[in-house]
Amino acid sequence: MLVAGVDIGSTSSKVVVLDDTRLLASVVGDSSTNPSRTARALFDRALSGAGVPEDAVAYVVGTGYGRTQVPFAHKNVSEITCHGRGAHHLQPSVRTVIDIGGQDTKVICVDAAGQLLDFAMNDKCAAGTGRFLEAMARSMGVPVAGLEEVYDANAEPCAITSMCSVFAESEVINLVNDGVPMPRIVKGLLLSLAQRVSSLATRAGVVAEVAMTGGVARSRAVRDTVATRLRVRLADLAGFDPQRVGALGAALVALDFARAEGRRE
């Protein structure tokens, strides 16, 4: 049975098409001020990549920041549920999922079936999110991808004391102007991000095995710093792109709905 998950995030959007649980296609693109148009364009790209017509898709679930703006979706489901489901599908031993998104950060607890048990979410401040890293990288005059190149696990970190992204950016600018080596600043920033994740994890509770999802999880430097701060080993998601886990979870939820409603291939 063909199903699809459409994850419209604050900074990037993703679509996954499955034939039952077999991946047929997945695409990623920038989000825009018109979520409906973004969803349609990426969905069409995914269908083309899968080589299937739209009317062959039995069920579509929208998720993410713009999930209610996916006009062709049969249902929309919280990204909290979808990230938990997607990570658990890729690694069934996962019980805690850390999703660092563009505008919020979530720690998600799931049971042995991948169903949501509890979660904690930082959605009041951009600190510790993808936007936070983008702003900090900009203040240092490097692209976000450049943080990975500057990162040195052995560097002595600078203290980034502010809990506010705006003030933290001012701290970084001052450090740069004072000639502090970039690796020290980057290490301090990542420790600051990891501290915010740790605070959420304390609220939600961390049970091994732990996985990281979302675009920020593509960064080895972020993964290493968070894992060290939480004193855990992060699960391998079978080489699947962590940025697409929410869309994968949405497609799996779509499969559940389709089967429950008796849909046919």
Query: 1-91+240-265 belongs to which CATH class?
Result: alpha beta
Helix (H) or strand (E) holding 143: none
Give Dmax over CA atoms of the chain in angstroms: 65
- Whether 161 shows a pLDDT value over 80: the answer reads no
pLDDT reported for residue 265: 60
Average pLDDT over residues 84-108: 93
Q: Give 101's pLDDT tier (boundaries 50, 70, 90).
A: confident
CA of residue 126 relative to chain centroid, distance = 14
- Lowest pLDDT segment from 81-95, 108-122, 186-200: 186-200
93-235 has which CATH code? 3.30.420.40
At a CB cut-off of 8 Å and minimum separation 6, what does 167 contact?
Answer: none
pLDDT band at 18 (very low <50, low <70, confident <90, very high): very high
Q: How far apart are the first and last CA of the chain?
A: 5
Q: Is the dihedral of CA 130, 131, 136, 137 positive or negative?
A: positive
Which three-class secondary structure state does DSSP give residue 173?
Answer: helix
Q: CA-to-CA distance for 171 and 186, rounded, in angstroms?
A: 12
pLDDT at residue 124, as a whole number: 62
Q: 129 pLDDT exceeds 90?
A: no
Residue 159's pLDDT band, with cuts at 50, 70 and 90, is confident
What is the overall mean pLDDT for the chain? 91
pLDDT range class, residue 123, cuts 50, 70, 90: low
Q: What is the pLDDT of residue 148?
A: 84
Q: Which two tokens stand for residue 116?
A: 């949501």
| Cα 257 to Cα 265: distance, rounded to the nearest angstrom | 13
* Range(s) within the chain of domains with CATH label 3.30.420.40: 1-91+240-265, 93-235
What pLDDT sits at residue 73? 98
Position with higher pLDDT, 193 vs 35 = 35
Could you tell me if 109 and 96 are in contact, meaning their C-beta atoms sit under 8 angstroms apart?
A: yes
> How sure is the predictor about 49, in pLDDT bands with cuts at 50, 70 and 90?
very high
**Per-residue confidence (pLDDT) for residue 134, from 0 to 100:** 82
**Structure tokens, 27:** 């695409």
Report the C-alpha gap between 147 and 224 in whole angstroms. Answer: 13
Q: Which of 182, 99, 84 has its CA nearest to residue 140?
A: 182
**What is the Cα–Cα distance from 93 to 107, expressed in whole angstroms?**
16
Q: Are 39 and 76 in contact (CB under 8 A)?
A: no
- To which H or E segment does residue 107 belong? strand 105-110
Q: Is the pLDDT of residue 15 over 80?
A: yes
